[in-house]
Structure 1
């Protein structure tokens, strides 16, 4: 048997465990072609060219909203270097650059996830939209999923269902709890988008004392760009009480990655004020028997549907190191032993006290 025969190709659904191999830190002061390399929130792999697409969530503050192409050099099961190769500006539907959040918030982007379509050689990316007080007035901006070419130019958009859009009052999507994750399935036939947290109708956010907050996964037909199904996924409780107890804390989905057979690796990210590290868990979620909840107005305490089954694969706490704001996950190259690698990236929020970490894992079939 050849080395590559040990590991089925990405999308096969064959996985029993994941094994940590290494972590690499991108310097806080890293710059590339006049841009500040920070806020890296999504990552995907071009296997043919052995390069990665990485999106920054900067909202056109120091430079226009953008994504990078980079190489991650892996030697002897370790990350030797991360080399940035190109940067491209994200464009809106008019193929203009996005305005800065502090200048024209209605026309700013909040980039979160990016995925590569190897058949069309295009990229899809998501923005969470906005629902916040900006400059003394409320701004309501719907989230979006755009398709673009490899230079950032707009090609098409997905039609988002009404229940995940922004509305006045406690209705629809919450600010900063919207489209955090994207993943293709069945090749590129479908695109799955995961919400970070529940909509208002689906109940309160996860808390230290509240587990099983329902979050929606939306399945889109990649040809028609329309939603064809929605499914529920139940979050863990917030991992630790904030300090003080009244301070901010959150648990939500920061990204998903389809591994085939309606199964996904799901990143749950818990953060509590007063505690340095985030608690990051990787779950194997199975949607094969989950109920299509497209017609369900609310999933809160609703027992009439079947959510995705979930199994914990890895808790970053087991590494006993500082873990930052992990937001991106992708398949990487096949390792020397024939096993598939995973590359996971953390967003430093452009904060000197945070770390822009790149993690390398091995998939054990």
Structure 2
């Protein structure tokens, strides 16, 4: 396991508060001060096919940390083909500033609105967050346009039962034309891959992996695809706004279907870390972290790259989940990234440890 730290920095053209590090003010009239950096600390893996309580640990597409209990929750994107739609709880010990092997300690079978385990193919769960002030969760599903199944942002109790769905604008509902092709709404497997809760718990923000059908083309080599960020009030579900996020064009040789936004993480009420990933056959996966701002009532998000896995790893595996973690021994705030092993088809289950702190 690698433990050497490589620091990667980038100019961030806005005032930014990283948890634990205060405000960094980039005034236009003065040269910028020392910038926060995101550095790679190390990684730890889970053997392919490993099980907990009889269920395969795989397809991990979202992760979140509860600091009060020093405990993580991770959700599988298994559509019911390798086992029930489920999430796991675990600990990720950090010893001497490095990750130790994860310890899984719970599995929860998620339920549909009728209280039954999901019928295979009826949910494509991707992102999960602890629901503040409860023992339950918020999680997303991408939906399946060909089956007429829309995506959702769902609140669940600690035993996996549905509490409610947050209301979504009609624009996200998949609508098919006479030829069966989607004409508007979330495209199949390109929906709410990403979701986060504001640091104060007031809002839930979810982002599509690629553009809605009516907004533009999916990921392609010619240019960015306008993914959509949707922000809702967590308590009432009230609509708070939408912003377009320019997800990267497909790099040369990469797989379009594996290219796009895989997770977001709130920094403050309007600033997010956005994780994008792609796969190049024969070379593996890589991912980039961008800082993006949605500080107006609506419109287009600006973004700046702050970390690139390709700078530190030849293959990052399929990076799909990200969460703030505990403070590291040197005072840095940690980021934990989880990967999706696609159940042995591509990639491995890996946890990456990153550090966020001020530059030297």
Shift of 1:232: 1.1
Shift of 1:270: 2.0
TM-score, structure 1 normalization = 0.85
Equivalent-residue separation in structure 2 for 1:83 and 1:168 (angstroms): 44
Structure 2 counterpart of 1:354, from 340, 347, 351 = 347
Alignment pair present for 1:127 and 2:134: no
Shift of 1:282: 0.2
Shift of 1:248: 4.9
Note closer, same or farther for the CA distance 1:124–1:10 as it changes in structure 2 (3 Å cut). farther
Q: Residues 272-351 of structure 1: matches in 2 within 5 Å?
A: 272=280, 274-289=281-296, 291-292=297-298, 306-351=299-344
Q: Residues 180-329 of structure 1: matches in 2 within 5 Å?
A: 180-211=193-224, 213-242=225-254, 248-272=256-280, 274-289=281-296, 291-292=297-298, 306-329=299-322
Partner residue of 1:54? 74
The alignment partner of 1:278 has SS state of: strand
Structure 1 counterpart of 2:94, from 71, 74, 98 = 74
The one-character-per-residue Cα deviations of 1:88-145 (angstroms, maximum 9, x if unpaired) are: 10011222111112xxxxxx2110000112323321000111123xxxxxx1101111
For structure 1, the residue ranges without an aligned partner over 5 or more in a row are 1-6, 102-107, 133-138, 293-305
Note closer, same or farther for the CA distance 1:13–1:197 as it changes in structure 2 (3 Å cut). farther
The alignment partner of 1:81 has SS state of: coil
Equivalenced residue count is 327
For structure 2, the residue ranges without an aligned partner over 5 or more in a row are 1-16, 25-34, 178-182
Q: Residues 15-164 of structure 1: matches in 2 within 5 Å?
A: 16-101=36-121, 108-132=122-146, 139-164=147-172
Equivalent-residue separation in structure 2 for 1:8 and 1:280 (angstroms): 21
Q: Is the 8 A contact 1:221 1:228 kept in 2?
A: yes
Equivalent-residue separation in structure 2 for 1:352 and 1:218 (angstroms): 31
The one-character-per-residue Cα deviations of 1:39-94 (angstroms, maximum 9, x if unpaired) are: 00100001111010000011112321100000001111211110100001001122
Shift of 1:155: 1.1
Equivalent-residue separation in structure 1 for 2:62 and 2:43 (angstroms): 17
Shift of 1:321: 2.3
Note closer, same or farther for the CA distance 1:19–1:256 as it changes in structure 2 (3 Å cut). same
Q: Is the 8 A contact 2:220 2:249 kept in 1?
A: yes
The alignment partner of 1:313 has SS state of: strand
The alignment partner of 1:196 has SS state of: strand
Q: Is the 8 A contact 2:262 2:277 kept in 1?
A: yes
Note closer, same or farther for the CA distance 1:62–1:11 as it changes in structure 2 (3 Å cut). farther
Partner residue of 1:3? none
The alignment partner of 1:218 has SS state of: strand
- Worse-superposed segment, 190-199 or 275-284: 275-284
Q: Is the 8 A contact 1:145 1:157 kept in 2?
A: yes
Shift of 1:194: 0.5
Alpha-carbon RMSD: 1.9
Partner residue of 1:301? none
Structure 2 counterpart of 1:179, from 189, 192, 201 = 192
The alignment partner of 2:171 has SS state of: helix
Equivalent-residue separation in structure 2 for 1:113 and 1:157 (angstroms): 14
